[in-house]
Structure 1
C-alpha cells in the first residue's frame, strides 16, 4: 500500500468512528444557511433567491454572504433592509467561523432567549437594530470575548439593562440600545466597559437617575449620546477624563448643579449639547484647549454670569446660549470667528453694544439676540457674506438707524427688530427683499413712507409696522403681497384712502390700521377677504356709511370701527357676524340699533353716536314709538302673512321630521351656527335623500346639498347613537374642535344640529372631494401635476401647523390622511374630519396623552403610537409624512405593488438607503436618477426643473416618517422647509 492509501483509510476510520460527514467546512456552512432560510426566515421579496446548492462557489457568491478570501469559510451574514421576517435566526451562529451578523431594519420579531444568544458568543459584530423584537434584553450567560459591536436599538425591548452587560463584554466598543422601552435608571456598571467608543442608549423610558459617577473610566469613548434619558443630578467631575470624546449629548434631561470645570479637558470634543436641563451657576472659563469644538449648546438652562471669553475665542460654528440668565457684554473676540454661522443668545440679561465687527469674518446665517438689554447701533456688516437668513433683535434698546447694507442682504427671510429705539428712514431696498416671509419692525421711532417696490417682497406672510412714525399713503403695490396673513400698520401717521385692491389678499387673517390719519370710505371690496378674522380701523378719519358687505365676511370675529367719522345706520347685515369684539363708538351713526346689538353688553360699543336710538337700551336716547298709520297697517298685514306662511311650512315638513328624526319634537333639538349661514335645519332635512348621498364612512353618511339660494354645502349625518358611543364622541369632537378654530387651510363647520338619536354637521362644500379619491380614484391623479401637488402639501402643512402651534391648547388631529384633505374648485387643500381630534394637555407626563385604544388609519399610524397608545403632535407629523410620500409616488400607504408586508414608508426608505451614495447626512439623501424614477408617480410626467423640488420634498417626507419621534420636525418647521423649497423653485 502507498502512503496515500494509508492516509485515506485513517481519514475514513475517523469519519466513521466520530460519525462526522466527510465534507468541507464550506459544505457544512451551506447546509446551515439553507436550513435557516427554509425554517427560520421568510423572504417575501425573494432577496435570497440565489441561495441554491447549484450556485457556483456556493455559498460565498450568495447574496449577503461574505467569505474569507483564503479559506472560503463563511465569516459574515449581512442582510440589512432585506424585508425578511421571522424570529431571531440563532442557527446562523452554528457556523463557527462566522464573525459578523447584520440583520438590521427588517421585520424580525419575538423574544431573544439567553440560550440562543449564547450560541453567538464567538461573534465580533451583531446588529439587530430596527426590527420588532420584544421582551427583556437577553441576558449574557457566557463571556463574549470578541464582540466589539452590539446593536439592539430601535426595537421594542423593555425591562432593565442586564447586569451581565457590564461583565460579559470586556472588549465591546459600540453599545447601542437607543429607542426601546427600557426602564430602570442608567446602570453604574456601564463604566466597566472601558473599551467603548460609542455609547448610545437614549430615547428610552428610563426612571430618573444620575449619570454613573465613574463615567470618566470610559477614556476611549468618542460618542456619549444620552438625550431624553431622564438623567438627574449633576454632571460628574470625572467627565473630564473622557479625553477621546468627540460628541457629548446630555440634552433634554433634568440635570442640575453646575458645568464642571473639568469639561475643559475634553480636548478632542467637537460637539457639546447640554440644552434643556436645569443647570445653574456660571459657565467655567475653561475652554481654551477645546480647539476642535464646533458646536456648543447650553440653552434652556439657569446659567448666570458672563459668557467666558475662552468659549467665544474658539472657532465655533454654532453657539446657542439662549434662555438663561447670562449677563454682561458679548465678548468682542466673537467677531473674529471665521466659522460662526449660528448665534442664539436670546432671552438673557446681556447688555452693552453688539461687537461692531460681527459678520465681517464669518457667514452668519441665524442671528438672534432678542430679549436682552443690548443697546447702541446695529453692526453694519452682519450680512457682509450675504448668507444671513434670520435677523432677530427685538426687545432690546438698540438705537440709531437701520444700516443701508441690510437692504442688500438678499438671503434674508425673517426680520424681527421690534421694541427698540431705532430711528430714521428705513432703507428703501430693505422693504423689497424678495425672500422675506416675516417683516416686523414695530414699536421703534422709524419714519418715512412705504415704497412702491414693497411689491417685490411677494413671500411676506407677516407685515408689522405699528408704533412708528411712518407716513404717506399706502401704495397700491401692497396688494401684490398675496401671501400676507397679518398686516398691522397701526399707530403711525399714514394718510389717504385704504386701497380697494386689498381684497386680493385672500389669505389675510388680521388687518389693523388703527390710530392713523386714514380718510375716505371703507372699501366695499372687503368681501373678498373671506378668511379675515380681525379688522381694526379705529382712530382714523373714515367717512361714509358702514358697508353692509362687512356682514358677508364669514370668519370675522373682531370688528372695531370706533373713533371715525362714519355716518348712516348700522347695517342689519352685521347681525350675521359671530363677533367676540365689536366697537362702533364715537362716530356719527344714526337710526335704530339693530336687535342683535340692542343689548346691555354692547352699550360701550355704541356710545358717542348721538343720533343712535334704542327702545330700551340706556343711556341711548329712546326711539319714537309713533309711526304713520300706513306703516302700522303694512306691519299688521305682513305679520299675518308671515303667520300663515310659517303654519303652511310647519305642516309641510312635520311629517318629514317624524321620518328623519324619529318623531322627536324640535324642542329637543340643539342647533348651533358657527359661520354666517342663510339656511336652517329645515332646509337641510329636506335634502337628506338617497339622490344626494355622495359618501358613506365609518362615522356616517355625507350628502351634497344645494340650498334654495344656490349655495352648496356638505352635510354629514352621523350614525345613530344606538350604534355605539363612537357617534357621540365623533360629533362632540368635530363641534368642539372646528367650532373654535378659523384657518384658511381647515374646513369650515357652518352649522350643527343634534337630537336624541341623530347628529348632523354642515360644512362648506369642497368641489373636488378629497385628495385620496383624486389620487387613487377614477381621476387617478391625472389632474394633479407636481406644481399642484406641491401646493396641496404646503396648504395641508399650514393647517396642521395651526392646530399644533397656534391653538391653545394644541390640537392633535389623530387621523391625518389623504382622504381627510379636501380640495376646493381650484384644488386648494383644507384639513377635515376632526372626529378623532384631541386637545393635548402639556402637563401630562412624558409629553404625551394616553389613549384607551389605537385610532387612525392603517398605513398612517406612527409606530410608537401603536406600542404606547400615547399621542403627541409628532404622531400627526408622521402621518403627514406618509401623505407627502403619497403625493410623490402616487401609491396608497398600503399597496399590493409595494410587496407583501411592506408599506409605503418601508418601501421608500429601502430605496432611499439603497440610493444613498455617502449615507444619510444632515437629514438629506442623495438620490440618483434611476432610484428617483422608481419613486415618482409616472402620471405626473415631471419636468427636469420639477425633479429637484421633488427630491427636496422627498427628504422632508423622510424626516417626517423617522421612526424616532424626536427626530421628526415640528409642523411649523415642515411649513418652513416646504416654503424654502417653494422659494428655491421660484428662483
Structure 2
C-alpha cells in the first residue's frame, strides 16, 4: 500500500491533530512519522504551528504552497519518505547526507512529477536504479545520487530524460558497460560517473555530441583504450577528469580545442607518446595534471603560454629535453611539478619573477645551471624541491628574504659557496636539506629565528667552524644531521634543551671536548652518531637511561674511562665504541656475541669477549655469574606470580560471567543500520559467547554470529577501560557520529560496517564476515604456504586500493590509523578488504587512549615519536611494512630484528647478503623479479622521511604496473589456481 494512500488513516488515528493544519502540513507530518530523528531536527514539524512554511527545511511560495524541502545533513534515517510526493507543488527535494536506507522504487516517487531537483546523495539506498525515473520526473533538471549502494547496470531509459542538465552517480556499485546512451541527453551540462565498477569500457566518442557539457568526470570507471579525439569538440567543457583509469595511447592534440576548459585531469593512466602542442590556445586553463603516465619527449613551449595556467603537474613520466624558456611568461603559475622525468638544461634566469609561485618540485631530473634569483619574487614560495639534479653556483641571496618558505630540499646537487646569512633564520622553515653539495662557511647564529625548524640536514658538505650555541633555542628540532663536514669545537651546552631531538648525526667532523652531560631531556632520541671526531672524556652514565635510544656510535674518538654499566639498559641495534681509549671490564650484558665488534681498538678493555687482560684472581667474585643467577631467580618468582594470577582470573570469570547483557539492558539497546540487513539486537547478543570468538584485538573481541536467515556476520564488542565488558562511559555523540561516517564508506576493498548496536554502557559493531580471516593469521600461521606469490600480490593491490579510497576519495579524507596485516581481512576467494578504518579515531573521541590511536608495534611510522600525530603518510609507512611482510613472510616484531625495527633489518640484509635472503622461502623464485619490484615499493613506503613516501594513489599505480609488466591478471583469487 502506498504511504500517500494511508494518509487518511494517519489522520484518523491521531485525533489530536489541529484541523487548521492544511493538507500539505499533514503530508509533511506523515513523512516525518517514517523517519528516525535522533537530534530532533524536525522538532518544530508540529501541528502547534499550523503554518508548515515555518518548519525547518521547508520553503513555500504564495498561498502556503510547499515548493522545496531541504533536510540535508540532518542525521535522519529510515525509508525514503514517499509521503513528500503528496506535495503537489514540490520542485526541490534534498535528503543528502543522511541515513535513508531503503530501495528507490517506482512507487516511492509516484506523485513527484513536478520535481526539478532531486538530491539523495550520501545515503544508504540500495538496489537497482529505477528505470521509470525519466517518465515519472519529466521536468527533472538535476539528479544527484552520489555515494549510495545502487547496483546493477544504469537503465537504458536514463538516456530519455527530456530536460536533465546534471547527472551524478559517483561512488555506487554500478556495473555493466559505461552507459554510452547518456549521449542522448542533449541538454546535459554535467555528467559524473566516477568510481563505479563498470566493465572495462572505452570512453564513448558519442559523448562529444553533448555540446552543452561543462563537466565530464569519469575518474575510476575502468576505462580502457584511447582518449577519443572527438572530445576536443566540447567547446563548453570546463572540467575534464579521466584520471585513475587504464587509458593508453597519446593525449590527442584535439584537446587543445577545449576553448573553455579550466581543469584537465589525466593522471594515473598509461598514456604515452609526446605531450601535444597547442595548449597555448586554452586561454582559461588553470589546472593540468597528466602525472603518473608514460609520456615522453620534450615539454612543448606553448604549454606554458596558456595565459591563466596556475597548476601544472607532469611528474613521473619519461619527459626529456629542456624546460622551455616560455615558462617565465606564466603570470599565474603557482604550482609546478615536473619531478621524476629526464629533463635537462637550466631554468630560465627570470623564472619566478612574474608569477605567484608557491610550490616548485623539479626533483629527480638532470637539470643544471644556477637557481634563478627571482624564484620567490612573487612573495608566495612555500616549498622548493630541487633534489637530485646538477644545479650549481651559489644559493641566491634573495632566498634569504623568502619568509613564506616552509620546505627547502636541495640535496645531491653541485651547489657551493656560503649559505646566505638570513636564509638560516627563515621563520616558517621546518625542513632545510642541503646535503650532498659543496657548501662551505659556518652555521650562522641567525638560525635562532628559525623557530619552526624541525629537520636540519647538512651532511656531505664542507661546513666548518663551531656549532652555534643558538641551535639550542630550536625547540622543535627533531633531526640534526651534519656528518662528513669540517665542524669543530665542542657540542653546545644549549643542545641539552632540545627535548624533541630524535636523531643526532655529526660523525666524521673535527668536534672536540667532552660529551654533553645532563641530557635527560633527550627522551625521544633514537640515534646518536658522533663517530670519527676528537671527543674526549668519559661517557655520561645518563646516556644509558635514554628510553628509545637504539643506535649509538661513538667510535673513532679519544674517549676514555670505564664503559658505564647503565649502557646495559639500552636495546641497541647498532653499537660501536671502537677505536677509543676505554679501560676496565666490560659491563656483563654487553659482553655478548652481538657486540663482538663493538669494542675493537680499546687495549685497556677486558671481558669475556676480550682475552688476555684483567685476569681474575683466586677467590675473586664473578659479577657476571651473580647477575645471571639473580636474573634466573627473579624469572622463577615472576612465573609463579603469573600462574597464580591466571588461576585467580579463571576462577573469577567462571563465578562472574559477563558475556551477555542483563535483560533489562537489552531493552535499552539501539540498532543503527548502514546497509540493508534483516537482524535484531537479541539475535546478535544471544551469540556473544566464548565458543563464537574468532579474534581479539586492541580495540575489542570479535565473534562469529550466524543469523536466523543463515547469513553470517562478525560482531566486534569494544573493550571497556578495564577490558571486562563493553565500552563504558565517555562514548557520546562523537563516537556515534564518527561510526556513522564510517558506515557510509563504500568500496569493494573496504569491509562493510553493517550496523552499530549502541547503549550507554555498550558498543557493538556488526561487520561483513570474512571467512578466511586476517592476512596476519593466514601469512604467519600454519597455512602460510597457501599464499603463493600471485595471491600475495593481489592482496597487496586490493588493500592498497582500499586505503587509496580512504585517502583520496572520501571527503574529508579518512586516515586508517592502524594499518597492519591483522586489519586486512580475506574473503572466501582471498580477496582482501581493509577493516577497522578510522575506528581508533572514533574511540579517541570518547576516551583519550594513545595506545589505541598510535598504531601497532612494528607498524608505527618513526615520525610519530616526535609529532604524536597519525597522518596519511603514517598509513603509507604502515602499509609499506605490510608489503615487507608479504615479501619476507616474517612478523614485524621479532627479537632477531632488535627494538621493533623490521624495516632496517630488511635494508641491512639486502645490503649485506642480497635480495634473495629476505624473500620468504615458501615462495617460488620464478617470480623473483616481480617480488623484487614489490619489495622496492615497500621500501619506498617506509622511507624515514614522510615527504619521500608516495601517495596511496601512486602505490596502487606502481603495484598495477608490476602486475601488468609480468602478465599477471589482477583477478587471480584462488591460490590453488594461481
The bucket for the TM-score relative to the shorter chain is 0.5 to 0.7
Counterpart check, 1:33 vs 2:4 = no
- Structure 1 partner of 2:531: 538
CA contact (8 A) 1:32 1:92 kept: no
5+ residue gaps in structure 2?
A: 1-19, 661-688, 702-720, 734-755, 757-773, 780-791, 805-813, 818-822, 849-944, 950-978
- Structure 1 partner of 2:179: 187
How far off is 1:540 after superposition?
Answer: 0.8
How far off is 1:156 after superposition?
Answer: 2.5
Counterpart check, 1:225 vs 2:217 = yes
How far off is 1:881 after superposition?
Answer: 8.4
Counterpart check, 1:416 vs 2:413 = no
Q: 1:843 aligns with which of 776, 791, 797?
A: 797
Q: Report the structure number with the largest CA radius of gyration.
A: 1
**Cα distance in 2 for residues equivalent to 1:184 and 1:492:** 63
CA contact (8 A) 2:53 2:66 kept: yes
- Structure 2 partner of 1:557: 550
CA contact (8 A) 2:825 2:833 kept: no
CA contact (8 A) 1:847 1:872 kept: no
In 2 relative to 1, CA 28–439 (structure 1 residues): closer, same or farther, beyond 3 Å? same
Stretches (4+) displaced over 6 A: 638-643, 645-655, 721-724, 771-777, 835-841, 860-863, 865-871, 884-887
Counterpart check, 1:214 vs 2:214 = no
In 2 relative to 1, CA 652–361 (structure 1 residues): closer, same or farther, beyond 3 Å? closer
- Cα distance per residue 1:860-888 (max 9 Å; x no partner): 9999x999998769933x8648968999x
CA contact (8 A) 1:323 1:348 kept: yes
- Structure 2 partner of 1:138: 130
- Structure 1 partner of 2:101: 109
Q: 1:875 aligns with which of 819, 837, 842?
A: 837
CA contact (8 A) 1:730 1:836 kept: no
How far off is 1:641 after superposition?
Answer: 12
Q: 2:613 aligns with which of 593, 612, 623?
A: 623
How far off is 1:164 after superposition?
Answer: 1.9
Q: 1:282 aligns with which of 258, 266, 274?
A: 274
Report the 3-state secondary structure (helix = DSSP H, G, I; strand = E; otherwise coil) of the residue aligned with 1:150: strand
In 2 relative to 1, CA 501–775 (structure 1 residues): closer, same or farther, beyond 3 Å? farther
- Structure 2 partner of 1:343: 336
The within-5 A match list for 1:462-611 is 462-611=455-604
Counterpart check, 1:87 vs 2:89 = no
CA contact (8 A) 1:500 1:525 kept: no
- Structure 2 partner of 1:234: 226
In 2 relative to 1, CA 287–185 (structure 1 residues): closer, same or farther, beyond 3 Å? same
How far off is 1:589 after superposition?
Answer: 2.6
5+ residue gaps in structure 1?
A: 1-25, 665-688, 691-695, 699-720, 734-760, 763-770, 778-814, 816-834, 851-859, 888-970, 976-987
Q: 1:352 aligns with which of 345, 349, 352?
A: 345
Normalising by structure 2, what TM-score?
0.65
How far off is 1:417 after superposition?
Answer: 0.7
How far off is 1:179 after superposition?
Answer: 2.4
Report the 3-state secondary structure (helix = DSSP H, G, I; strand = E; otherwise coil) of the residue aligned with 2:837: helix
- Structure 1 partner of 2:306: 314
- Structure 1 partner of 2:289: 297
**Cα distance in 1 for residues equivalent to 2:429 and 2:659:** 43
**Cα distance in 2 for residues equivalent to 1:355 and 1:772:** 64
Equivalent residue pairs, number: 704
**Cα distance in 2 for residues equivalent to 1:843 and 1:475:** 49
Report the 3-state secondary structure (helix = DSSP H, G, I; strand = E; otherwise coil) of the residue aligned with 1:502: helix
Report the 3-state secondary structure (helix = DSSP H, G, I; strand = E; otherwise coil) of the residue aligned with 2:255: helix
How far off is 1:558 after superposition?
Answer: 1.0
CA contact (8 A) 1:861 1:879 kept: no
- Structure 1 partner of 2:885: none
In 2 relative to 1, CA 263–658 (structure 1 residues): closer, same or farther, beyond 3 Å? closer
CA contact (8 A) 2:280 2:304 kept: no
**Cα distance in 2 for residues equivalent to 1:649 and 1:351:** 67
CA contact (8 A) 1:200 1:226 kept: yes
CA contact (8 A) 2:799 2:833 kept: no
How far off is 1:46 after superposition?
Answer: 5.1
- Cα distance per residue 1:365-414 (max 9 Å; x no partner): 11111111111111111111221111111111111101111111111111
- Structure 1 partner of 2:889: none
**Cα distance in 2 for residues equivalent to 1:193 and 1:836:** 47
- Cα distance per residue 1:842-874 (max 9 Å; x no partner): 433562389xxxxxxxxx9999x9999987699
In 2 relative to 1, CA 772–49 (structure 1 residues): closer, same or farther, beyond 3 Å? closer
CA contact (8 A) 2:363 2:388 kept: yes
Q: 1:438 aligns with which of 417, 422, 431?
A: 431
- Structure 2 partner of 1:945: none
In 2 relative to 1, CA 577–113 (structure 1 residues): closer, same or farther, beyond 3 Å? same
How far off is 1:267 after superposition?
Answer: 0.5
The within-5 A match list for 1:637-648 is none
How far off is 1:150 after superposition?
Answer: 1.1
**Cα distance in 1 for residues equivalent to 2:826 and 2:284:** 40
- Cα distance per residue 1:262-297 (max 9 Å; x no partner): 101110101111122221111100213210111111
- Greater RCO structure (CA 8 Å; 6+ sep): 2
In 2 relative to 1, CA 849–868 (structure 1 residues): closer, same or farther, beyond 3 Å? farther
How far off is 1:248 after superposition?
Answer: 0.9
**Cα distance in 2 for residues equivalent to 1:200 and 1:115:** 26
Normalising by structure 1, what TM-score?
0.64
Report the 3-state secondary structure (helix = DSSP H, G, I; strand = E; otherwise coil) of the residue aligned with 1:374: strand
**Cα distance in 2 for residues equivalent to 1:493 and 1:38:** 77
Q: 1:78 aligns with which of 55, 62, 70?
A: 70
**Cα distance in 2 for residues equivalent to 1:593 and 1:641:** 14
CA contact (8 A) 1:305 1:326 kept: yes
CA contact (8 A) 1:206 1:229 kept: yes
- Structure 2 partner of 1:934: none
How far off is 1:239 after superposition?
Answer: 1.3
